Chain A
């Protein structure tokens, strides 16, 4: 061990690092992003969960109970509906996570205490909602006495509260994002890094042919990955597909296109495969933290929710949970479908605009 030689290598390493602007930025950018995202995203004390109420009693006491629920801040009450069936429809469409029914004989139930006064339907496709809903069961209701189980919780879609049921659909999104963005970005940069592109520009190959030809195999790979997760989910964890299988694949295809476009976009920005990998990781991080896969969307601050809305994975997670667990159709989730299509289109246009420049 010679100090001079050691120092020479250290200095050389720092000089090289300084010239790789992107890596340098990542050294600071990744911890900053990670800290901010984790700090903002992780909030298990969720408030303002979307909910709706059916008030069949329509008495002063029922209205008092509803006002009391609202005052907790745990739920964010939407316009009241007339029947429990409507609550179920809203829940399937992902518009509410909690539905509360106040039966016509509410006051009688409270007096006799033979049956729970309220019925609460909880969307079990999102695990964090279940935990939050349990807070409400301990809520002291006006005119109620102790030792009375006042709220009956009905767990929809995942009655046994199995973690796999919540996790597996979202994992499709995580796996597609993790592999496809990186694969396409690296595959395209590799061509340039190895000098193959210089040979190809003299041939009649057009930028479109080159990009599409490289990306299309990944569409197939993505669909194979979806199939593997679905099969293993079904066989090993008994995760149901309650909606139409064709719609699971439809949503996945749209999401695959968005991811591949993102990969192409990264490839036009990165100078080396290493940079492409870093950029892919940089984009993967907020997707996994803010999409609602790990942490509840309802618990995030407004700014984090806005960021989440422009991430393709956020919408995909909502779509896939809706289709697989709640048996929703794509028509039930038009906003997320539209948002995902819009994101995919914007990414596709942006990336193809940059492809043409890549060959000069």
Chain B
């Protein structure tokens, strides 16, 4: 982004809301996504990630709010937008009874690639996504990682300016996930804007910018680094003889935002007012505990943000 210090905003949403009956799936979200970024949506299942993603791309009509994508008003100009976006679904959505090559040819035609242009483009996709030796294989018989590469190849066939990925790595092994993210950054470098929903922290950490959703509301929106730095609390690593007893003691204390057992240790997210002696006093046999301050990670941010939102909702 060095040559473009004030990146152009490709998606702008104000007061975006979607109701399904009485359920408010997405509740007045404001967003601005700059061009060429990998923008992540992090949130638990049912927090409104997919719904938001779909509304931003004109696949779902918002109940309320204004959306402008690539200079087009959504949903009024959603059909025009469809020529400029790609969408990769959570579940493999290409035809399992067509071969790799046939699927890609189909998508090239659907996106109106001229015949002369389609052939080299399909070949290029097969080459880039390493599907050369699978060309004639039925898509249904591919492995999870191969299916995902094929799906990505299909969704970027028409060189979309905006690519939308709905939990794209839920069905693949860690190595394929790593390769897959490398492909995503390659696309971002080429100027494609990517919206990715995920519930993997390690994936969220890779995003340029992150929106955390909880029960349909936007509870945080910044770079992962800034989110970690701005965490309203401190993170401690506790090593005690009886971790279960310590966890029980800490649980429900108003100053403690979250406790998670990691191996034999406890990772504690506490309000800034709680210092080491205070923490020690809260647990049984606290004098013998080994307590260490650690740098916050995205999971801590996520716990703090969603917990804050829940408190607000309860109040």
Contacts and interface: CB of A to CB of B under 8 A. Distances in A.
Interface residues of B, number: 24
Given A203-B111, A204-B110, A198 B82 contact: no
Contact of A195 (B59, B61, B93, B154): B93
A320 B302 CA distance: 70
Contact of A202 (B85, B95, B96): B85
B164 A202 contact: yes
A199 B111 contact: no
Contacts of A198: 89, 91, 93
Given A194-B96, A360-B61, A202 B87 contact: yes
Contacts, number: 43
Given A204-B111, A204-B112, A360-B61, A199 B79 contact: no
A200 to B, nearest CB: 8
B63 to A, nearest CB: 13
A201 B81 CA distance: 12
Contacts of B89: 195, 198-199
A71 interface: no
A206 to B, nearest CB: 8
B111 A195 contact: no
Interface string A197-227: 0111111110000000000000000000000
A202 B86 contact: yes
A360 B87 CA distance: 15
Given A195-B92, A198-B89, A204 B79 contact: yes
Nearest to A201: B59
Contacts of A360: 60-61
Interface in A319-360: 360
A196 B94 contact: yes
Nearest to B83: A204
Contacts of B107: 203
Interface in B86-130: 86-87, 89, 91-96, 107, 110-112
A204 B94 contact: no
Interface in A182-202: 194-196, 198-202
A199 B94 contact: yes
A210 to B, nearest CB: 10
B57 interface: yes
A199 B94 CA distance: 7
A202 B59 contact: yes
A203 B156 CA distance: 11
A293 to B, nearest CB: 35
Given A203-B111, A204-B111, A205-B110, A196 B85 contact: no
Contacts of A203: 82, 87, 107, 110-111
Interface in B160-179: 164
Nearest to B151: A199
Contacts of B110: 200, 203-205
B91 A195 contact: yes
A212 to B, nearest CB: 14
Contacts of A204: 79, 82-83, 110-112
A359 to B, nearest CB: 9
A194 B110 CA distance: 19
A204 B86 CA distance: 10
Nearest to B80: A204
Nearest to A359: B59
Interface in B139-166: 154-155, 164
Report which residue of B89, B107, B112 has the largest number of chain A beta carbons within 10 angstroms of its beta carbon: B89
Contacts of B164: 202
Nearest to B164: A202
A196 B83 CA distance: 18
A139 B82 CA distance: 76
Interface in A276-333: none
A201 B89 CA distance: 11
Contacts of B82: 202-204
A199 B92 CA distance: 9
Nearest to B107: A203
Nearest to A191: B95
A199 B57 CA distance: 13
A202 B79 contact: no
A320 B92 CA distance: 46
A338 B50 CA distance: 49
B94 to A, nearest CB: 7
Contacts of A201: 59, 87
A22 to B, nearest CB: 22
B134 to A, nearest CB: 19
A202 B85 CA distance: 7
Contacts of A196: 93-95
A195 B164 CA distance: 16
A199 B61 contact: no
A203 B87 CA distance: 8
Contacts of B57: 202
A200 B106 CA distance: 11
Contacts of A194: 93, 95-96
A204 B58 CA distance: 12
A195 B151 CA distance: 13
A302 B83 CA distance: 56
Nearest to A194: B96
The 7 closest A-B pairs by CB, nearest first: A202-B87, A199-B93, A195-B93, A195-B91, A204-B82, A198-B89, A203-B110
Given A198-B93, A200-B110, A203-B107, 9 more contacts: A194-B93, A195-B91, A201-B59, A201-B87, A202-B57, A202-B164, A204-B111, A204-B112, A205-B110
Interface of B: 57, 59-61, 79, 82-83, 85-87, 89, 91-96, 107, 110-112, 154-155, 164
17 contacts: A195-B89, A196-B94, A196-B95, A199-B93, A199-B94, A199-B155, A200-B110, A201-B59, A202-B57, A202-B82, A202-B86, A203-B82, A203-B87, A204-B79, A204-B83, A360-B60, A360-B61
